[in-house]
Amino acid sequence: MVDVAMPPVPARSRLYALPLCGLGTAQVESMTSYTARLAQAHGLTVRQLVQGEIWPRFAGADQPIGGRHLAASICKDDARALCGVRGWASQWVSVLADLTGRTDLHCASLLPWANVLSHVDLIRGERAWCPDCYQAWHAAGQTLYDPLLWAIQEVLICPQHQRPLVAHCPQADCQRAQPHLTSRARPGRCAYCGAWLGARTGSQPKLSVPDLAWQRWVVERVGELLAHTPRLEARPAAARLAYAATCSLQRLAGGSRYRLARLIGRHESVMETLRGGPQAPSLGTLLRLCYVGGVTLLQFLTETPLRLKPRRMPARPLFQPKIRRQTSHDDQAYRAVLEQALISSAPPSMRAMGRRLKCDPHYLYRRFPELSKAIAHRYLAFRQAEKAKRIEQLRARIRQAVVALQRAGILPSRNRVREYLKPASFWGNQIGYEAWQAAVDELGLAARQP
C-alpha cells in the first residue's frame, strides 16, 4: 500500500536564514554587520528592514519611527549597542532569531558574557576596520563583513595583519568617521561617499613596541573568548567574578586590594566590581588582571579551579593609572565672550561656545546659569526662525513651479514638479507634499499625485 500522507514540512522563516560569517572563530561577524548584510540580501535598506520587519516586533514599539530612541536611531549613535551586553541587544537578537529561524545569532554580540562584562568602554563609538582584510576577501571572492572583534574598544589592531585598525574614510575629500550602521550600510564601503574602504592611505596610525606587544596579547585573548562562545554551555554568572577576584586577591597581592589595584593600574574602588558589586567590571580591567595573573580571559571567566600563574612584573608599573588633570578656567574671560555671543547677529549654541572656549558646556552652565540659558534660548529661537524662513522659501518655489507648468499646458503632478525643481531632496517630506497640494488647490487644478 502506497503512503500518500504529506511528509512533514519544516517551518519556514520570514527572512532568509543567512548564516553568520566566521562563526566559531575569532573573526565571527558582528550584529551590525549581519543586519546590514541581511537587508542587502533582501534588496532593502537597513532602515526599511528595521521599520518594516524588526521594529514592529519590539516590545513597546507603538511609537512612530524617527524618535531619538526609536528605530531611526539604530542608524545613528545607538547601533553599537547591538554588539554589546544590554537589553536592547538581547531583544534585537531575539527578533532576528524569530525572523530568520537561526539559533546562533547571540554569537554576533557579547550577550553570552553579559553577567561578567560591563557595557562601559566595551564597544567603540565608531566603526573600525582593517583595509588589508577587506582587500584580501574581495580578491578571493569571499563575503565582505565586519568581525565583532573590530567593534571592541580594547582591540586596536587586526590579529591577522598586525596593523592598527582604521576608523576614517580613505577618500581625500571625505575622511569622515564611520558609524556602526547606517540606512544604506554596506560592508567595505564608506557610509557617506561610498568609497572602497580596502584602499591604503598615506598616513596610518602607529603603535609603540610595548603597545603593539600588549595589543597582540589582547586580540589573542579576546579572539579566544569569541571563538569559544558557540560552545559555551551556560552563561557565566556574576558569582563567578567574586570567586575569580578572591583567588586573584590572595594569589597576586596577598589580600591587599590596594596592591592589586596598583598592579593593574586601576583605582581601589574598581575591586568592588570584581567582588560582586552592582556593576560588572570593564573588559579592560579584566584583561589587565588576566595578564598579571598569567591566565587567559577565557580561563579567568570559566575555569574552576582557577590556576593563576603570576607574572614577574617590572619595577616600573606596567599599567599606569589615569590621572585626571585639573583644568584652569578664566571665568572673567569666559563671561566677556558669553556676553558678546548673546548680542551677536548669528547666536551660537552653547556647544559651539564650549568648543570656542575649549571648555565643557556643563561648566559654563554651572558658572553662568542665567547667561548660558539666555544664549541657549536665543539660539533656539534663531534656529526656529531660520526653519520657518526655509519653509516659506520652499513653498514659494513649489508654487512657482506649479504655476510655470500650468502656464506651459503641462499638468503639474508631483513628479513633474519634482523634475522641474531638481535637485529636490526635500520632496519626500510632509511639508513639500502639503505645499504642492496647497498650490494645486489654489489654482483649482485636479493634478494627480504621480
How would you write the pLDDT of the chain (450 residues) with one tens digit per residue? 666 777 777 778 999 999 999 999 999 999 999 999 999 999 998 888 988 898 888 765 554 444 444 445 565 557 888 999 988 889 999 999 999 999 999 999 999 999 999 998 999 989 999 999 999 999 999 999 999 999 999 999 999 999 999 988 888 888 888 889 888 888 899 988 889 998 876 566 677 777 888 999 999 999 999 999 999 988 999 889 889 988 988 998 888 888 888 888 887 777 777 776 678 889 999 999 999 999 999 999 999 999 999 887 665 556 665 555 556 788 889 999 999 988 888 888 898 888 888 888 888 998 999 999 999 999 999 989 988 888 888 888 888 888 888 888 888 887 888 788 775 555 556 777 788 888 888 877 654 444
Same domain, 67 and 204: yes
Q: Is residue 10 in some structural domain? A: no
Same domain, 149 and 252: no
Same domain, 38 and 20: yes
Same domain, 157 and 220: yes
Residue 80's pLDDT is 87
Same domain, 124 and 204: yes
Farthest-apart Cα atoms in the chain, separation: 100
Same domain, 213 and 118: yes
Q: Is residue 376 in some structural domain? A: yes
Work out how many domains the chain is built from and give that number.
3
Q: Is residue 382 in some structural domain? A: yes
Residue 217's pLDDT is 95
Which of 227, 257, 292 is the last residue in one of the domains?
A: 227
The pTM for the full model equals 0.72
Same domain, 389 and 306: no
CA atoms within 13 A on the CB side of 419: 9
Residue 258's pLDDT is 85
Return the H-helix or E-strand segment holding 221: helix 209-228
Q: Is residue 7 in some structural domain? A: no
Which of 297, 324, 351 is the last residue in one of the domains?
A: 324
Q: Is residue 169 in some structural domain? A: yes
**Residue 243 domain boundaries:** 236-324
Residue 449's pLDDT is 47
Q: Is residue 383 in some structural domain? A: yes
Same domain, 337 and 278: no
**In Å, how far from its chain's centre is CA 129?**
13
Q: Is residue 450 in some structural domain? A: no
Same domain, 19 and 73: yes
Residue 75's pLDDT is 55
Residue 109's pLDDT is 96
What are the Cα distances from residue 434, in Å, to 50, 69, 421, 438? 27, 28, 16, 6
- Please report, in angstroms and rounded to a whole number, the separation of the first and last CA atoms in the chain: 61
Which of 324, 350, 366 is the last residue in one of the domains?
A: 324
- In this structure, what CATH number is given to the domain that contains residue 309? 1.10.260.40
Same domain, 423 and 380: yes
**In Å, how far from its chain's centre is CA 41?**
22
Same domain, 185 and 103: yes
Same domain, 212 and 292: no
